[in-house]
Amino acid sequence: MEGELDIEGALVLEDVSDETGLHVAHEHGTPVAVRARTAEEVKAALARPEVSTVIVPGDRRELLDLDLRELTYGA
């Protein structure tokens, strides 16, 4: 949740399109946080092994209750 997690020292990205940034951060041991506003954005971010956490805005609190197993593999 935006503002509820200490992300000091992390690389904070708007999405996972920066392949080089993700790789470099991972190689240097820098945590990577990605902002997400939709279930698909959460899924895409967490599918990347470099991503430590996903940050969702306060008005999208329902994203915290996603069933990631179902979202990834189906019912």
Q: For position 33, what pLDDT does the model report?
A: 95
Q: Which DSSP symbol is given to 46?
A: H
Q: Closest Cα to residue 1, out of 65, 61, 68?
A: 61
pLDDT per residue over 17-55, tens digit each?
999 999 999 999 999 999 999 999 999 999 999 999 999
Q: Which DSSP symbol is given to 5?
A: S
Res. 1: pLDDT tops 70: no
- pTM of the full predicted structure? 0.85
pLDDT per residue over 63-72, tens digit each?
999 998 898 8
